[in-house]
Amino acid sequence: MAVNILAFGPNGSGKGTQGAIVKDKYGMDHIESGAIFREHIKGGTELGMKAKAFIEAGDLVPDEITIPMVLETLAKSKEKGWLLDGFPRSLAQAEALDSALKEAGMKIDYVIEILLDRQIAKERIMGRRLCANDNNHPNHIAFEAIKPVEKDGKLVCRVCGGELSARADDQDEEAINKRHDIYYDTKTGTMAAVNYFKGTDSKVISVDGSLPIKEVTAAILAELD
Ligand code: AMP
């Protein structure tokens, strides 16, 4: 049966980088709620227009928009399995996901949690760059292992040479703080969602995100079957 995984970690913890590696191990789909929103914004869709202002401010996009969008995407990946990143971000989303999956006959095999101090996460966020060609090409100006390369005096993607950009919400300190307020909130925020899954049948893998990228990868892979 297909393997399904939830990936948690504050923005800046390396969740996207690790997620791309785990996704390759299982040949599963990598579903990132934030990336789906960014695609919609780029394509000028109605959903994108509704979500844009929330994203730029670092606020959560309302559940009426987010939950159906994610559930629809998961249903399409039922056969292949999926690694879900960026959702659930709140206790309410965790509960909605849990009941929707039960109804759809899907289960979560692993929950990966990358632990990282808030201040370190913030410093890391500002250095990451997005590849125009592939969301799964991690680039970061402060990490040797995933440093962009220089071409014609410009920094380009280290994997494919594609154009790089920084997300507006990654350069805005207020937006970063808001996203982290949501993440580290153990009452109703993302940490509450992580804790919710600690009480289920899914295997929880908690790793130290302050370690070098390769060590974090090794710690995760050692726990996956
Ligand atoms: P990310 O790429 O995960 O940092 O997400 C970028 C932005 O998309 C977030 O700051 C939110 O505005 C929005 N977003 C992503 N996932 C969710 C979610 N599960 N619920 C609500 N908003 C979300």
C-beta of residue 135 within 8 angstroms of C-beta of residue 19: no
**Within 13 A of 152's CA, how many CA atoms are on the CB side?**
5
Residue nearest atom 19 of ligand 1, based on CA coordinates: 87
The domain that contains 24 carries what CATH number?
A: 3.40.50.300
Within a domain: 126: no
**Is 16 marked within a binding site?**
yes
Distance CA 94, CA 48 (A): 23
DSSP, collapsed to helix, strand or coil, labels residue 149 as strand
Number of structural domains, the chain?
1
Within a domain: 165: no
For ligand 1, the distance from its centroid to the CA atom of residue 85, given in whole angstroms, is 10
Ligand 1 atom nearest to 57, measured from its CA: 12
**Is 17 marked within a binding site?**
yes
For ligand 1, the distance from its centroid to the CA atom of residue 33, given in whole angstroms, is 6
**Total count of residues recorded for the chain:** 225
Q: Which amino acid is located at 18 in the chain? A: Q
For ligand 1, the distance from its centroid to the CA atom of residue 31, given in whole angstroms, is 12
Q: Tell which one of 49, 89, 90, 114 to mutate to probe ligand 1, the residue whose CB is within 8 A of the most ligand atoms.
A: 89
Within a domain: 163: no
Select from 4, 19, 10 the least CA-distant residue to 216.
Answer: 19
Helix 213-221 to helix 15-26 angle (10° resolution) is 40
How many CB atoms lie under 10 A from the CB of residue 197? 21
Within a domain: 123: no
C-beta of residue 115 within 8 angstroms of C-beta of residue 7: no
Residue 67 belongs to domain spanning: 4-117+172-224
Tens place of pLDDT per residue across the chain (225 aa):
799 999 999 998 999 999 999 999 999 999 999 999 999 999 999 999 999 999 999 899 999 999 999 999 999 999 999 999 999 999 999 999 999 999 999 999 999 999 999 999 998 999 999 999 998 899 999 889 899 999 999 999 999 999 999 989 899 999 999 999 999 999 999 999 999 999 899 999 999 999 998 999 999 999 999
Residue found by looking up tokens 């909605």 in the block: 96
213 lines ligand 1 (CB under 6 A): no
Select from 97, 60, 43 the least CA-distant residue to 51.
Answer: 60
**Is 34 marked within a binding site?**
no
Helix 173-183 to helix 118-125 angle (10° resolution) is 140
Residues in Cβ contact with 13 at an 8 Å cutoff, skipping those fewer than 6 apart: 114, 115, 116, 121, 124, 209
Distance CA 137, CA 159 (A): 6
Within a domain: 136: no
What is this structure's pTM? 0.88
10 lines ligand 1 (CB under 6 A): no
Strands laid side by side in the 128-131 sheet: 139-140, 128-131, 164-165
33 lines ligand 1 (CB under 6 A): yes
Within a domain: 125: no
How many CB atoms lie under 10 A from the CB of residue 26? 17
Within a domain: 95: yes
For ligand 1, the distance from its centroid to the CA atom of residue 105, given in whole angstroms, is 26
Helix 91-104 to helix 63-76 angle (10° resolution) is 30
81 lines ligand 1 (CB under 6 A): no
Within a domain: 138: no
